[in-house]
Amino acid sequence: MPPVELRRVRDPLANVPTPQPRGTVADSFALLDPARTAVITGAGVSTDSGIPDYRSPGSPPRSPMTGQAFRASDANRQLYWARAYVGWERYQLFRPNSIHRDLAALIPGPVITQNVDGLHSEAGSRSVVELHGSLHRVICLSCGRVYTRGWTQLALAELNPGFLATANVTPIDVETNPDGDVELAKVDGFRVPNCPACGGLLKPDVVYFGESVRPEVASAAEHAIEDADAVLVLGSSLAVHSALRLVRQAVRAGTPAVIVTDGPTRADDLATVRVVDRVAPYVTAWRHAVT
């Protein structure tokens, strides 16, 4: 089947005004007991590790794979897996930054993240709710078996000997997209493995644009919000409904919400305290304030 055209993601923040501070950093700290705070993190938490995001000022327009496109044709799956195969070598080099480490030291309860990089767990967070899944896992769309990304990388390498040379790219130096893949000019002839158990299609265990969060994951996030005395949003524009609805849930229940990011969000009007700043210095200051 021919590839489905990958369209640019519509930006729900296109007409959102520049954020204005509400309250102070000290006001926010007064609301945030680490033992009773639900933390929601977005891409702005991992940019300090070198992983690009979709909406930072100056970010290039991107056309990520959608769930519909991935399922629609062999050509689209070939395109995704070829790009992911090259990008994974560099993606594995990304490491937790000070934000991940500070949160691991501060938060005993679950960290709710929109990120698919696994860096919260690597930093030592004891409980992580991955709203959008993880690039470190691959799932069969037919039988549901889950494989490691490392196994998939070996399978791709065995099926495509010499591909890196013909693609004329150096994995360590090539620019990585937010989803771990890279831009490639040619993917002709690239072969994609199927599930060794049932022959089904293999897909990264992530929520693509246009897909829904798994019910059990959504439920875990909702329970974390219900149990919290405050909600702290770090580095997320809340452009995606999966995280925005959690903030709305908290506000409906009368739970204070603190939002920290240097760009606009879709919940700026809901924030009890709105800090317009980079995330790393804020979290470091919070850790110093409570330890």
The SS3 assignment for 271 reads: coil
Residues of the chain with CATH 3.40.50.1220: 1-9+18-51+96-132+213-291
pLDDT by 10s per residue, the chain, length 291: 444 444 445 555 656 678 899 999 999 999 999 999 999 999 999 999 999 876 555 555 556 778 999 999 999 999 999 999 999 988 988 999 999 999 999 999 899 999 999 999 999 999 999 999 999 999 999 999 999 999 999 999 999 998 988 877 776 767 777 777 888 878 989 999 999 999 999 999 999 988 999 999 999 999 999 999 999 999 999 999 999 999 999 999 999 999 999 999 999 999 999 999 999 999 999 999 998
The SS3 assignment for 248 reads: helix
The residues annotated as belonging to the active site are 132
CATH of domain 1-9+18-51+96-132+213-291: 3.40.50.1220
CATH of domain 62-93+133-206: 3.30.1600.10
Residues of the chain with CATH 3.30.1600.10: 62-93+133-206
Start-to-end CA span in the chain (Å): 58
Interior/surface letters 129-164, b for 16+ CB within 10 angstroms, e for the rest: bbbbbbbbbbbbeeeeeebebeebbebbeeebeebe
* Pairwise CA distance, residues 55 & 142, whole Å: 34
pTM of the model: 0.89
